[in-house]
Amino acid sequence: MSLTQNFVQPTPDDLAQQFVSFAVEAGVLRFGDFKTKAGRMSPYFFNAGLFDDGAKLGRLAQFYARRLLSSSLQFDMIFGPAYKGITLAAAVAIELARLGHNKPFAYNRKEAKDHGEGGTLVGAKLAGRVLIIDDVISAGTSVRESIAMISAAHATPCGVAIALDRQEKATENGADVDWSAVQYVSTQLKLQVVAIATLADLLQYLRSTQDASLAEHAPRVEAYRQRYGV
């Protein structure tokens, strides 16, 4: 069965539009010429590492929390895969608690610790339905590794929350395939994926903005999606 979906004209999503605007203002979402890990020349670049101060990180956490609370995804705790997921998990747990939804969180180390508490896992004990939080899903590698750790602890991975769904074809052995990494996680790994915004939302923002310097990037982003999108 194909994992692809037909392009549809997006219905404006207020939360997604607010998030894209915030990402642009914060310098996290940039336009120009950028080479992706897959070797493609992309007209935009999303770097979540640039949510790099307390105000930006706090607002980012608000977007994650609002999207999660408005979704149908049910979870008991949060897991943040090293490295970006660590900060995201902590920030989102704080924001959810502020909103009256206190959830434990945990994260992993890249290398096992041989002293103190030892091991690769830090924080609350993995148990129940575990939500994985990351910035994007590029190849699904981080998600698969997280699933393995969660399952080894006899807990249940239940979903993935990301900031931006690129809605872009994945690659295998250097060749494009007809599905995205998000579709792979959803269909093959059977995990619900919740994204604050998508590439379709980004295009909607560029088409509707009153900022001419931003609007001029819409045709190139649209052409990129027509070529690599799913």
Give me the number of domains the chain comprises: 1
Q: DSSP for 178-217?
A: EEEHHHHHHHTS--EEEEEEEHHHHHHHHHH-S-HHHHTT
- Domain-located, residue 201: yes
Active site residue 110: no
* pLDDT tens for each residue of the chain, 230 residues long: 344 444 444 455 999 999 999 999 999 999 999 998 888 999 999 999 999 999 999 999 999 999 999 999 999 999 999 989 999 999 999 999 999 999 999 999 877 655 445 578 999 999 999 999 999 998 778 899 999 999 999 999 999 999 999 999 988 877 888 899 999 999 999 999 999 999 999 999 999 999 999 999 999 999 999 999 98
- Domain-located, residue 6: no
User: What SS3 state is found at 128?
Assistant: coil
pTM assigned to the model:
0.90
Of 35, 84, 103, 115, the active-site residue reads 115
Range of the domain at 104: 14-228
- Domain-located, residue 39: yes
Active site residue 113: yes
Inter-residue contact 182 to 195 (CB < 8 Å): yes
- Domain-located, residue 64: yes
- Domain-located, residue 189: yes
- Domain-located, residue 191: yes
- Domain-located, residue 1: no
Tell me the torsion sign for CA atoms 100, 162, 142, 113.
negative
Of 37, 56, 110, 113, the active-site residue reads 113
- Domain-located, residue 149: yes
Helix ranges (DSSP H) in the chain: 14-25, 54-70, 84-98, 141-152, 181-187, 199-208, 212-215, 218-228
What CATH number is given to the structural domain containing 212?
3.40.50.2020
